[in-house]
Structure 1
Amino acid sequence: MIDPSELKTIGLTPAIYCSDQAVFHVTRGVPLGDALGMASDFLFLAEALSKDAAYDRESDRYTWAARYLTALSKALVDDVGKVLTRGPALRKEQAAE
């Protein structure tokens, strides 16, 4: 059995599209704990920017920044989910690397 701390992202998840093409992808090989920690940081910042956006009626800059941070967070969490739900075959593949 693989130690969960050895599980890493698989890098299959795109984020933020431009002209129907992903501009960013999750990087393969990031430890899951680190990926989830980064997603948490992104979501914390997105929440703070959303709060600022609620008070700043003159600009949408906070809203767009929060949107991009949220999209990156979702990609990280989705990639982690793919690792956790793809089962033992994927975990064996990662252990072999």
Structure 2
Amino acid sequence: MKNPSAPPELKTIGLTPLIYCSNQPLFHVTRDVPLSDALAMASDFLFLAKGLTQDAAYARDSDRHAWAAHYLTELSKALVDDVVKVLEPSPARTKADSKKA
């Protein structure tokens, strides 16, 4: 049973696009994923990317390791960027901004 006085769990907002095709994002970070889970997944992706980049340094016959690492780091960056958007305070609105809304 959840504690009603506990602060709400922070979750991703799903505003971060990644991997573009024809100038359109092919994917977005999914909304409402707990931040701890998103960061754990980013860490897992980076761990795998690190291993693949090490393999790529020795595999001269193929670039598949480098491309796999590239996509894993792209996924990691998008997850971290989305988490940062949640954790950063939004800029203070000015009176001019309020009048436009």
Q: Which amino acid aligns with 2:44?
A: D
Runs of 4+ in structure 1 over 4 Å off: none
C-alpha offsets along residues 27-52 of structure 1, whole Å, 9 cap, x if unaligned? 00000000000000000000000000
TM (norm. structure 1) is 0.84
- The aligned length equals 86
Match of 2:18 in 1: 15
Give the alignment partner of residue 45 of structure 1, picking from 39, 45, 48. 48
> 2:7 is matched by which residue type in structure 1?
D
1:86 aligns with 2:70: no
What is the alpha-carbon distance in structure 1 between the residues aligned to residue 55 and residue 7 of structure 2? 41
1:62 corresponding residue in structure 2: 65
Give the structure with the higher percent helix: 1
Tell me the CA shift for residue 2 of structure 1.
Answer: 6.8
Pairwise CA RMSD: 1.6
Report how far residue 86 of structure 1 moved.
3.4
| Distance (Å, rounded) in 2 between the aligned partners of 1:31 and 1:85 | 16
TM-score scaled by structure 2?
0.81
The runs of 5 or more residues in structure 2 that have no matched partner are 91-101
Structure 1 runs not aligned, ≥5 long: 88-97
Q: Pick 1 or 2: higher relative contact order, CA cutoff 8 A, min separation 6.
A: 1
Q: Which of structures 1 and 2 has the bigger CA Rg? A: 2
1:77 aligns with 2:86: no
